[in-house]
Amino acid sequence: MDYFYAPGRNHLFVPGPVNIPEPVIRAMNRNNEDYRSPAIPALTKTLLDDVKKIFKTTVGTPFIIPTTGTGAWESALTNTLSPGDRVISFLIGQFSLLWINQQQRLRFNVDVIESEWGHGANLEIMASKLEADASHTIKAVCIVHNETATGVTNNLATVRKILDHYKHPALLVVDAVSSICALDFRMDEWGIDVALTGSQKALSLPGGLGIVCASPKALEATKTAKSVRAFFDWNEYLKFYRLGTYWPYTPSVQLLYGLRATLDLIFQEGLDNVIARHGRLAKATRLAVEAWGLKNCAQKEEWYSDTVTSVLVPHYIDSTEIVSRAWKRYNLSLGLGLNKVAGKVFRIGHLGNLNELQLLGCLAGVEMILKDVGYPMRLGSGVAAASAFLQKNMPMIPARI
């Protein structure tokens, strides 16, 4: 693909990677250090303590692994399951599809529950499978909390209620890659056994850290899990936790300092305030889409994501052209439609360290692009709808000094 230089900064509105705040960039701008010195274990201890807060767990054990979300997937699965184990997994979009593919390649017996793209997980089918599983052959339920390909969010509290209703001991394993620090997430309250996220999403860091949190039940499962694991073996980390040095392998020191800085920003704003901000920006985006006369790929309001809006385009428009033109002409990065929705949707990511004015700039750019590709709409309609909502719903904040 040809490279097109454009003046000004790139406006990054894909659903990850996201914009990195300046304080985080400055925190990472440092030389290499000896990770076996006293400084890095001391830093790591604070990070492990604070990572538990963003998962909302007091009993979980976190692992900060130099990898991506895909590696975090593998870590979650191989530490708790054995080849041949039956797992329920929901196919609702591209990223749940990729995770299912990994589960199958790791030789689990994957019981796939597929929904139409734009729909959430079919929990009724899950309930019927759990009810029929009197011998408890199902060892885990794997679910993507927030499917960014379609802008669909699943209700994890309901999944837990169903498991509890049937008194089923299956592990609840959750891909929270694009939901931690953006959506309401309660690991302890919802009885989640393994949750995982990636640094490039709402944590507003570069890619390179996979963060996994395991419940006591999940840690117990490692004692009988027979999947081959080496680099991702939690027991290696736990051994070094006990030694107080924390790292069995070389960590990304710069990313650790970045994680410290981004957690400080999140706690300064307040985690619940961060989640509320994501809700406001998402609602404003959906109002803009409605004002343009377009529809959300997510088919029901209960599934609407607060991290990404996947926008359906008319049949006579190729959404790939919208994304291409956005980048070439306006230096605006939007998300492509993937797999079954390729050419049918474009995606507006609104997660991470993002404010109202940044979002309105993105929406104005989308309006110009829609005009460029021949979509009949009134310029300013979406921006007006979004800005009116945001102005009415701005939080009360103390004046800057």
Q: Are 184 and 231 part of one and the same domain?
A: yes
Q: Are 349 and 365 part of one and the same domain?
A: yes
Query: Measured between alpha carbons, how far is 306 from 282 in angstroms, rounded to an integer?
Result: 5
Query: Measured between alpha carbons, how far is 91 from 316 in angstroms, rounded to an integer?
Result: 28
Q: Are 325 and 240 part of one and the same domain?
A: no
DSSP string, 175-216: E-TTTTTTS---TTTTT-SEEEEETTSTT---S--EEEEE-H
- Which CATH number is 92's domain given? 3.40.640.10
Counting other chains too, the contacts that 46-52 makes at CB distance below 8 Å and 24 or more residues apart are 46/260, 47/256, 47/259, 47/260, 47/263, 48/246, 50/263, 50/267, 51/211, 51/213, 51/263, 52/213
- Find the domain containing 323 and state its range: 11-19+271-392
Q: Is position 347 annotated in a ligand binding site?
A: yes
Q: Are 159 and 278 part of one and the same domain?
A: no
Q: Are 204 and 93 part of one and the same domain?
A: yes
* pTM, to two decimals: 0.96
In a domain, 57, yes or no: yes
Is the CB of residue 174 less than 8 Å from the CB of residue 146? no
Q: Are 189 and 320 part of one and the same domain?
A: no
**pLDDT for 3:** 65
**pLDDT for 361:** 97
Amino acid at 222: T
pLDDT mean for each 10 residues of the chain (401 residues): 73 97 98 95 98 98 97 98 98 98 98 98 98 98 98 98 98 98 98 98 98 98 97 98 96 97 98 98 98 98 98 97 96 97 98 97 98 96 98 76 49
DSSP-assigned letter for residue 331: -
In a domain, 1, yes or no: no
The domain boundary, picked from 216, 238, 267, lies at 267
Number of structural domains, the chain? 2
The domain boundary, picked from 249, 267, 285, lies at 267
Is the CB of residue 361 less than 8 Å from the CB of residue 383? no
In a domain, 398, yes or no: no
Neighbours of 165 (CB within 10 A): 11
DSSP string, 38-75: SHHHHHHHHHHHHHHHHHT-SS-EEEEESS-HHHHHHH
The domain boundary, picked from 240, 267, 294, lies at 267
